[in-house]
Structure 1
Amino acid sequence: DVYVFGLGDETDNNEINELASKKNPEKHVFKMQSISDMLTAFDEMLDVAEILQMCGLSREFPPDQEEDVQEKFPWIAKITIT
């Protein structure tokens, strides 16, 4: 799949639509005003329930959201030598 992200007011809708995959009902074109809007777009694209175990999945958590460290950083390993 090819996802296309248009950033800013000068994004040409026709150009980005030509580049993106076309699969109904999936959304492959995202037009946004700022980089922070990309995080929202990624959350819309990814169904975490389906791909929770997928290696390489990166997900931002709001600072006020209490999450387990293992859930936030699944690749961190703690080694204790005694």
Structure 2
Amino acid sequence: MKQSRLLLLNILTTASFHVSSFAVLGTSFPTLDWSGQDVLDWSGQDVLHWFTDNGPKARLYAWMGAFVSLGLTIFA
């Protein structure tokens, strides 16, 4: 395989992992909670509750971010 095709494949794979990682997370960390309170005022218990509900998604997002950084390292 030529280097240019390998580079193109790496770019496309890295981009797809990057987009997929956001799709996997599904919902970003909320800026307002259900009562309208700003999340900057959340306690540690509230943050723990969010990660408890979204733990597997956040973990997969982190792993996909690791693969994106690996792809960017190879690309660079």
Please classify the TM superposition score into its range, dividing by the shorter chain length. Answer: under 0.3
Higher strand content, 1 or 2: 1
Comparing both chains, which one has the higher relative contact order based on Cα–Cα distances under 8 Å and sequence gaps of 6 or more?
2
Higher helix content, 1 or 2: 2
TM-score, L = length of structure 2: 0.25
